[in-house]
Structure 1
Amino acid sequence: MTVQAFWQPIQLSFQVTSLAVTIVTIFGILIGWFMSNHHFKGKTAVETLILLPVVLPPTVVGFLLVVVFGGSSIIGQLMDYFFNQSIMFTMVAAVIAAVVVSFPLMYQSVKTGFDTVDQDVENAGRVDGANEWKVLWYITLPLCYKSMITGVVLSFARAIGEFGATMMFAGNIPGKTQTIPTAIYVAMESNRMSLAWAWVIAIVVISYLALFLLRRSSK
């Protein structure tokens, strides 16, 4: 095993996780803000659906992703038509899997933050002439930045440790879709325990630092 081969899963994990966290941060804030400020029929059902990946086994999430994006689905066929390539067993698939499993953590964190913001402060901004986007950007977000940091860190930790859905949907192709968790699994299966331990230590250190920063930022 060369040094480059050892670092490939780590580098790919950071790439996949960074893209996934960027996506869940943007959509988590937007959807969390919308759900916090709007009441409609079926809202509880929608929120339950958003949070469902938290309690579903990762293999079930992976199975559903294969069904939705596989070659026999409408979305999969459209992908094949426009990009002349299946989305499965690509880095994009790994990012999608990471987004799906980590989004609920970001959503719940930011929505909790939005729910704690004093509406009188937001209304004061509206009275002064600020539109909804300015209220969100200049008032709401600064008041719940700790919740956003919590969501980002938890989403990062969840995304970088994702295994089941990634294995089923993106596969385990070295240099292409092999992340740290899938690399550890293959190393164990091939009885390369020292290599598995090296990757285990790497992801433990990364996860520890992420949670350590979360604890520091919450103080």
Structure 2
Amino acid sequence: MEAFSAEPGWVALRLSLKVAVWATALDLVCGVALGYLLARKRFWGRELLDAVLTLPMVMPPTVLGYYLLVIIGRNGVIGAWLQRHFGLNLIFTWQAAVIAAAVVAFPLVLKGARAAFESVDTQLEQAARVLGVSSFGVFLRVTLPLAWRGVLGGTLLAFARSMGEFGATLMVAGSIPGKTQTLSIAVYEAVQAGQDDHANLLVIITSVVCIVVLVAANKLTPNRNPQA
């Protein structure tokens, strides 16, 4: 706790940024791929898949944390396999915090990417194919450049959500100062310890970071009103 007191909030801020960056990177890759799939492909169960992938947006974080414990815990489906074959234990590590934040924030990237891809005129894509461009080339040279603002807007929202994640992270990563204690968890610990001044500082830091990200997301989100 001495090191934590010597640098109030900054250790937790650095860890939160680290967790948010990794979680957002994972969400960006998976969210763009699945968002494109849901926007362009027609298959049975498409909307059901969308609903399942969106569940983290409405499900209580503690429930998500429990599911993650079942999956990546020492006795979990994936956790036991990692422990047995590689000697890895994800629980109470910053990597577990990344997984929790990625799961909670994923629907924001997915929804943003799907809406952005659905707004792209398919005739432009068809024209590129007629000119001999491959499907992957069409995605990189036509679809993604036209949809990037919506994708990036959703990604920034996911980053802000990852910065503020608490419930699921606390369950799978715990609260180890300097190792797994993110800003939101540090606020909780400071309040529990009666350190109001410290809690206020952490809240201000969190609020400033999230406001900056949200303003950037609003600037990048496509504006349907040309007069705005």
TM-score by length of 2: 0.93
Q: What does residue 216 of structure 1 align with?
A: 219
CA distances 1:124-176 after superposition (whole Å, capped 9, x unpaired): 00011111111110000111111012111110111000000000111111111
Give the AA of the match of 1:165: A
Q: 2:136 aligns with which of 122, 128, 133?
A: 133
Give yes or no for the alignment of 1:89 onto 2:106.
no
Give yes or no for the alignment of 1:104 onto 2:107.
yes
**1:83 Cα offset (Å):** 2.9
Q: What does residue 172 of structure 2 align with?
A: 169
Deviates more, 1:158-167 or 1:141-150: 141-150
Deviates more, 1:32-41 or 1:179-188: 32-41
Q: 2:40 aligns with which of 37, 45, 51?
A: 37
Q: Distance in 2 between matches of 1:212 and 1:77?
A: 42
**1:2 Cα offset (Å):** 3.5
Q: Distance in 1 between matches of 2:105 and 2:188?
A: 21
CA distances 1:87-143 after superposition (whole Å, capped 9, x unpaired): 111111000001001110000001001011101000000011111111110000111
Q: Distance in 2 between matches of 1:90 and 1:96?
A: 10
Q: What does residue 181 of structure 1 align with?
A: 184
Q: 2:156 aligns with which of 146, 153, 156?
A: 153
Q: Distance in 1 between matches of 2:21 and 2:87?
A: 26
Contact between 2:149 and 2:220, CA under 8 Å: does it hold in 1? yes
Q: 1:200 aligns with which of 181, 203, 208?
A: 203
Q: Cα RMSD (Å) of the superposition?
A: 1.2
Q: What does residue 60 of structure 2 align with?
A: 57
Q: Distance in 1 between matches of 2:18 and 2:183?
A: 12
**1:85 Cα offset (Å):** 3.0
Please identify runs of 4+ aligned residues in structure 1 that moved more than 4 A.
none
Q: Which runs of 5+ in 2 are unaligned?
A: 224-228
Q: Distance in 1 between matches of 2:140 and 2:7?
A: 42
Q: Distance in 2 between matches of 1:188 and 1:68?
A: 31
Check 1:83–1:176 CA distance in 2 against 1; reply closer, same or farther (3 A cut). Answer: farther
Give yes or no for the alignment of 1:114 onto 2:117.
yes
Q: Which runs of 5+ in 1 are unaligned?
A: none
Q: 2:194 aligns with which of 166, 191, 194?
A: 191
Q: Distance in 2 between matches of 1:113 and 1:16?
A: 26
Q: Distance in 2 between matches of 1:150 and 1:127?
A: 31
Contact between 2:150 and 2:220, CA under 8 Å: does it hold in 1? no
Give yes or no for the alignment of 1:123 onto 2:132.
no
Q: 1:6 aligns with which of 9, 13, 27?
A: 9
Say how many residue pairs are matched.
219
Identity of aligned residues (%): 36
Give yes or no for the alignment of 1:15 onto 2:7.
no
**1:210 Cα offset (Å):** 0.6
SS in 1 for 2:150: helix
Q: Distance in 2 between matches of 1:41 and 1:216?
A: 36
